[in-house]
Every structure is written in C-alpha cells, then in structure tokens.
Amino acid sequence: MDFSTIAAISTPQGKGGVALLRISGTEAFLVADRIFRPINQKSIGDYPARYQIYGSILSFDGATVLDDGLLTRFPAPHSFTGEDVVEIACHGGEVITAMILSALLESGAVLAKPGEFSRRAFMNGKMSLTAAEGIADLLDAKTEEAALLSSKAVRGKLSLEIQRICQLLLDAASSLWAYLDYPEEDLQSMSDSQMLTTLEDLLSSARRLLDSFQMGRAINSGIPAVIVGKPNVGKSTFFNHLLGEDRAIVTSTPGTTRDVIEYPLKAGRVLINLSDTAGVRTEASDRVEEIGIERAIAALETAELIFILFDQARPLEKEDRIVLEKVMEKKESAVILPVLTKSDLPAVLDLTTLPFAREEYFVTGEGVTDLTPLVGKIENAFISDEAALREGRILTNARQKSVLVRGMELVQEGMEQIRNGEKDVASLTLEAALAAFMEIDGKSAGEKILDEVFSRFCIGK
C-alpha cells in the first residue's frame, strides 16, 4: 500500500463528451495547481471549496495549453476518499485525457491502482464495506436491475438490515452477560426461552438474507444455466431461440455442438449465464464428442438453472431417463425447468411418467416465438422476495454470504449451549457470532478481505 497522492482518469477509456480526472491525497491541491490556470489567472486555492473553477489545463512545463475545463476542490474530510480531492472535467478524448494524466503524474501524483480511491474511502471511514462492495457491483452492473440494487447497497440498506440483526443479537447476548455477571440481582433480563425466541427471530431474518443471496446473484452476476436433453431433442434450436440468433450450429445429426461457451442473457430481471454444451449422449461416437459430453456434465454440476428438454413427439426413451436421473440428483441445489419441444408435431410423450406437474412445462416448437411464459417461470424461481429487492436487503457476493453463514452457525451453536446450561460457553459463542455479523459490514475485516473487495474495482473509482 502506498499513501502518496494518486491520480487517474475516472471515466471510461474512449471517446466521450466529457472525461473526468480525479486526484486524491495530501498534495492533491498542489499537484492540480501546477497544471491548472483559472481563467482570471488566480490560483485554485483562491476559490472556495466545492466551487467549479473554469480555466486552462496546461502541460507540466506550462508551455502548452492542453485543454480547457472545470476544476473542483474537495478539502478533507468532506470528499469521496476523505482526503483532499480534486476533480478535473475536460473534453473526452483518449489522447487528451492521457496527456492531462501524464501532466498530473509529472507534477507529483502517482497512478492510482485499481480500486484505490474506494479503498482509501473505506480506510478513512467514509463508507462501510458493504457500501464499498456495492460500488464495485454498481460499476460491474450489466443490467438496470443490478445497477439499482447496487445503488441501494451503496446507500446502506444492507448495512441497516445487518445492524438490525446485530441489534437482536446484542439484545440476547447482553442479557446473558448481565445474567452471568449479576447473578443475584433481579435484572428483568430475558428468560432462557425469551432469549431463544429472540435468537430464533434473528435466525429467520438472517435466513431471509441468505435466501436473498441467490436472488442477488441472479440479478448481479448471473445464474449458471445449462440446457440438457437426449441427442436431437432440440437443444440447439431452443438455445438459439433463447439467444435470439444463430449462434450454435444446428443440424439434425446428434452431437454437433461440442464446446461449452457461456452466453449471458436476460430473462426479465434475471441474468442467466447459459452454457452451450454438446448433446448428452450415452455413447459418444468419437473422441471430440466425448470431450463435449464431459463438458456438458461438468456444466450440469455447477448449474443452478437446468432446462431439461423432452421431445413430446416421441415416447420416453432410455436416454431421456438417464438424463432425467442425472438432473434430479441436482434438484436440491438447482432450479429445474422442464421444456417440451417439437410442439408442431403430434403429441406422443406420456407426461404422467415424468416427475413434473403439467403447469411446470414450457412448450416450444416451430412457430413458437413468445418466451414470456418462460421468463415468468424463471423470474418466479429466482425473484423470491420482492420486498427485499425493493428495499435492497440483499446479499450480493460470496464473502458476505460465507460470513453470514458462519454467524448463523454460531448462533445455532449458542442456542444449543443455552439449552444445555453451558451459559459460560454460550456467552462467548454469541460474542463470536456478533463479530461475524459485524464483519459482513467490514467492521472487523482483515487485510485479506479488503484485498479481495478492492481488487474488483476498475481504476479511477
């Protein structure tokens, strides 16, 4: 880590109307002063804080005017990073912004590392860890819903929910602590059963938050999905239908899609990362295809959304059963969506032999273009809690999830210890649970967590 004054271009590379450069650190004003001449020839320090100063941006030697633009000073601690910050808005062009940046670097700033501005903001107590992670997600957001959700995290909705859980835990734990340290006083502290009820309440809030993880990911980073079915059931046709273009080679010879490639696609508010796999066959005809099948099985292992295809124009075959068996093993960890293909042909398949209710099927075939019913099914499966989504009570990354799970396990352990009369141990277990819940918000986050969080930032933010 380096605590010199840093600078970077905060807007994306490429051509744009306006570009923004940001400088942060104890020498930010000094650095900016060297390359910026306000229109009336005063120095930037003569203007009030957070005032937009119009002027010329100069090269380091002062010989050349590079551009004209607006400069704003944000004195510490009232800035994004909590340090002295300068923002310079100039014309958006790859070359001109790069020239201004090098002028800044020549004036004494160093190039900011990825995520360094946000890291400093966190270090200086300007934002919580969930807020910082929210910013990372906001930058990475691929869909509008994802952007909205991240922006809620930035505004601290998730922090609030975690604080509420911590408060419940504090209620129970503090009552236990008081009971142990003041055994003879009538403290009106909670009885064991009240304590257990409070902890149970806490757990159900935490569980809701945990359930929200899948929803959070469905919106933010996407759900790994796969299409399976016996050879020639119509996987590639269905795939192309979903993607709306001819991406895979479609032939009537089984086993022509061989490589697994992931395609992100939007189903309503849900983001899906669809794996394009080779046909699942019992006996692969050649080596290449064998690799394709292995990949398909691997994709199935990690999938959380499985489209299982049945040809309704044919009776249930041995290969259907093999695929079905494989898929049903995953029913705890993945959403399984049955699809009937070739609806343009006469129906032969006996649906009663399959473990799905009639309304669960999405029916497709030649001439079927409307995907709305399918989108509805996917949204139903993944957007489980509209209220949580509206309020931003959603976990969006794996670190938050694993810490939450640890906290929940500790609470459960503590409850068991209370039931066994091991109050001394319970008091410590609940203390550790509290530490875990607080860690979700980075209150006791170690260097490792920070590195992971901040490594996800793009430069300049």
* Residue 54 interacts with another protein (CB under 8 A): yes or no: no
Q: Which is nearer to another protein, 281 or 399 (CB)?
A: 399
Q: What angle do CA 91, 10, 82 make, to 5 degrees?
A: 125
What tokens appear for 174 in the block?
A: 């503090």
Residue 367 touching another protein (CB under 8 A): no
Could you give the C-alpha distances from 399 to 7, 203, 223, 449, in angstroms and in order?
Answer: 29, 19, 17, 8
**Nearest distance from C-beta of residue 50 to another protein, angstroms:** 21
Q: Of residues 12, 331, 421, 458, which one binds another protein by CB under 8 A?
A: 421
Show contacts with another protein in window 92-131 (CB under 8 A): 122-125
Both tokens of 371, joined, read 């995907």
Identify the helix (H) or strand (E) that includes residue 103.
helix 94-106
Which one, 128 or 400, has the nearer CB to another protein? 128
Q: How many residues bind another protein (CB under 8 A)?
A: 33
Q: Which is nearer to another protein, 188 or 204 (CB)?
A: 188
Question: Given the complex with another protein, which of 185 and 360 has the nearer CB atom?
Answer: 185
| Rounded (5°) CA angle 61-64-68 | 115
Q: Please report how close the Cβ of residue 38 comes to another protein at its closest, in angstroms.
A: 29
**Which of residues 170 and 375 has its CB atom nearest to another protein in the complex?**
170
Strand partners, 118: none
Find the binding residues for another protein in span 167-196 (CB under 8 A). Answer: 177, 179-186, 188
Instruction: Point out which residues pair with 135 in neighbouring strands.
Output: none
Q: What 8-state DSSP symbol labels residue 351?
A: G
DSSP state of 252: S
For the CB of residue 443, give the shortest distance to another protein in the complex, in Å: 8
Task: Check binding of 144 to another protein (CB under 8 A).
Answer: no
Question: What's the rounded Cα separation, in Å, for the pair 182 and 7?
Answer: 56
- Residue 197 sits in the site that holds another protein (CB under 8 A): no
Does 1 engage in binding with another protein (CB under 8 A)? yes
Q: 178-185 — which CB contacts under 8 Å span 24+ positions?
A: 179/423, 180/423, 180/424, 180/427
Least distance to another protein, CB of residue 3, Å = 3
Q: How far is the CB of 83 from another protein (least distance, A)?
A: 10
Give yes or no for residue 452 binding another protein (CB under 8 A).
no
The answer to whether the beta carbons of residues 31 and 5 sit under 8 Å apart is yes
DSSP labels for 262-309? EEEEEETTEEEEEEE-----SS-SSHHHHHHHHHHHHHHHH-SEEEEE
Position among 197, 420, 455, 458 found at the interface with another protein (CB under 8 A): 420
Q: Which stretch binds another protein (CB under 8 A): 225-233, 281-289, 342-350, 439-447?
A: 439-447
Which of 210/432 has CB closer to another protein? 432
For 128, the token pair is: 């919580």
> Does position 344 bind another protein by CB under 8 A?
no
Which residues of this chain interact with another protein, rule CB under 8 A? Answer: 1, 3-4, 122-125, 177, 179-186, 188, 420-428, 431, 443-447, 450
